[in-house]
């Protein structure tokens, strides 16, 4: 799940975290006109859920900040699935480029 990490914040409560600005695709994200901050990554997560993993919808919440992406909840499996999807994008420039272009074509707005 690199560069994301899943932690148990209290018994039965989990957070999926990504330190913004630490991925292999940050420079590409900037070239595509976005700021690779926590809000951008929350948009990536939302777009992935809406287009590739609708079964995850409503199974966790988002709490991004400028320097960090965070999704949290008590459904560890759902957060692991999201982490796997996001990890693939965070490590693959071609995948990130396709995601951003698909989002633009669909009228999706990243909140970065």
What structural domains does the chain harbor? 5-105 (3.30.1360)
> pTM score, two decimals?
0.96
* Beta carbons within 10 angstroms of residue 55's beta carbon: 10
d(CA 6, CA 34): 25
pLDDT at 111: 87
3-state helix vs strand vs coil in the chain, percent to 5: 45, 20, 35
pLDDT at 112: 86
| 3 upstream amide cis, omega within 30 of 0 | yes
Interval 50-108: pLDDT, tens: 999 999 999 999 999 999 999 999 999 999 999 999 999 999 999 999 999 999 999 99
């Amino acid at each position: 799940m690199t560069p994301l990490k899943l932690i148990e914040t209290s018994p039965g409560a989990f957070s999926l975290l990504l330190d913004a600005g630490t991925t292999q695709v940050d420079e590409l994200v900037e070239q595509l006109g976005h700021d690779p901050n926590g809000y951008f990554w929350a948009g990536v997560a939302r777009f992935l859920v809406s287009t590739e993993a609708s079964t995850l919808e409503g199974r966790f919440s988002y709490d991004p900040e400028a320097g960090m992406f965070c999704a949290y909840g008590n459904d560890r499996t759902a957060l692991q699935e999201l982490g796997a999807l996001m990890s693939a994008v965070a490590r693959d420039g071609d995948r990130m480029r396709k995601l951003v272009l698909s989002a633009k074509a669909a009228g999706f707005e990243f909140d970065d």
